[in-house]
């Protein structure tokens, strides 16, 4: 059956989709499957879809949109999974702005409200009349080994929304203005273009994410996050950058595989710098404790805990770690990295 779709989500960015698509009602309910859905309601908050070009568009009742089945486990958002089985007429939920969809099992109502409901119309088909899956359009594959000597700047955090992307972007901007070639990657989290586009806006010559490895998210794929990270490094190294910045989405104790990345010995050996963002002194202290326990380097703590001298003083005096607000002092942060670490 051929249908017209109103919006195409960014989670499908690597697939050359048009607004007229063929669908089938025989739907493989697996991670990465591309499906067409009809929106069943309007929402006042968390009601936007990031399109395949990165633009945000408000979702309206009756919209037919293309989404990707995937998992999400966001502390300040939705928790959801790929349904065990799926057929036309079933109701699923939009789980993030990138168009990852599934069965919502829990929601942070204060932050995002109730999940948007959508009726499944069918799986989107390729020109060969086969079900589309974003894995079939990946730009790089997960790798077992790092085949690169490009220095890594890793940005992690205690949780989502603690300034990781801001810190990464400010470092990119400062480094680019000094003539360095920078590539970026978001290697843990859920599919969306917002963060990688921001990296490019701030000067990165190329930026990729788990979408480009064929994953709608790294939730429920902790064992794959290490391979995705190494694959991204190898892929970006072809651009011959001076540095690669890795943003680890969500938090160290989150369910997207950040801890597994930080624990990996080969990745630890390639980390020229590790900046971790914390929301408060307790988070900062726990970050240091975890890094010491797993053998991961920790060079700077940033994030909201460094918004004024109270947190900065605690980190420097009690934790003996350099503290600096990357959002407001990005140039100073990169200068410190160059002089003291690289």
Residues 6+ apart with CB under 8 A from 339: none
Helix (H), strand (E) at residue 232:
helix 222-237
Q: Where in the chain is the domain with CATH 3.40.50.300?
A: 152-340
| pLDDT tier at 340, thresholds 50, 70, 90 | confident
pLDDT of residue 246: 99
Does residue 298 contact residue 287 with C-beta atoms inside 8 Å? yes
In 3-state terms, what secondary structure has residue 277? Answer: strand
Does residue 266 contact residue 146 with C-beta atoms inside 8 Å? yes
pLDDT of residue 192: 97
The dihedrals phi and psi of 54, each to the nearest 5 degrees, come to 95, -10
In the predicted structure, residue 342 carries a pLDDT above the cut 90: no
Mean pLDDT to the nearest integer, 147-156: 97
| pLDDT tier at 158, thresholds 50, 70, 90 | very high
Segment 44-101, tens digit of pLDDT: 999 999 999 999 999 999 999 999 999 999 999 999 999 999 999 999 999 999 999 9
CATH 3.30.380.10 fits 152-340, yes or no: no
What are the distances in angstroms from CA 285 to CA 76, 279, 289, 309?
A: 22, 11, 6, 16
Segment 242-290, tens digit of pLDDT: 999 999 999 999 999 999 999 999 999 999 999 999 999 999 999 999 9
In 3-state terms, what secondary structure has residue 212? Answer: helix
User: In the predicted model, what is the mean pLDDT of the chain?
Assistant: 97
pLDDT of residue 27: 98
């Amino acid at each position: 059956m051929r249908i017209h779709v109103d919006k195409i989500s960014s989670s499908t960015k690597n697939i050359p989709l048009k607004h007229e698509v063929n669908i089938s009602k025989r739907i493989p309910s697996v991670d990465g499957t591309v499906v067409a859905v009809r929106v069943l309601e309007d929402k006042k908050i968390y009601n936007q879809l990031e399109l395949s070009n990165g633009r945000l568009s408000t979702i309206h009742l009756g919209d037919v949109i293309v989404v990707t089945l995937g998992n999400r486990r966001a502390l300040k958002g939705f928790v959801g999974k790929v349904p065990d089985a799926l057929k036309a007429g079933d109701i699923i939920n939009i789980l993030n702005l990138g168009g990852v969809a599934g069965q919502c099992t829990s929601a942070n109502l204060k932050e995002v409200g109730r999940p948007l409901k959508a009726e499944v119309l069918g799986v989107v088909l390729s020109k060969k009349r086969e079900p589309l899956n974003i894995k079939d359009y990946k730009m790089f594959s997960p790798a077992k080994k790092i085949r690169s000597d490009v220095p890594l700047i890793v940005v992690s955090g205690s949780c989502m929304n603690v300034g990781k992307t801001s810190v990464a972007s400010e470092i990119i901007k400062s480094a680019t203005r000094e003539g360095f070639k920078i590539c970026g990657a978001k290697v843990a989290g859920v599919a969306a273009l917002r963060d990688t586009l921001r990296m490019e806006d701030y000067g990165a010559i190329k930026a990729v994410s788990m979408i480009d490895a064929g994953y709608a998210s790294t939730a429920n794929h902790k064992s794959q996050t290490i391979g995705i990270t190494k694959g991204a490094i190898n892929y970006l190294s072809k651009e011959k950058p001076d540095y690669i910045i890795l943003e680890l989405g969500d938090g160290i104790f989150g369910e997207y595989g950040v801890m597994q990345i930080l624990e990996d010995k080969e990745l630890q050996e390639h980390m020229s710098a590790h900046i971790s963002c914390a929301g408060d002194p307790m988070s900062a202290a726990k970050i240091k404790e975890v890094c010491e326990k797993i053998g991961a380097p920790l060079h700077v703590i940033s994030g909201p805990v460094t918004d004024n001298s109270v947190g900065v003083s605690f980190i420097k005096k009690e934790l003996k770690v350099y503290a600096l607000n990357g959002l407001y002092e990005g140039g100073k942060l990169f200068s410190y990295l160059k002089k003291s670490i690289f």
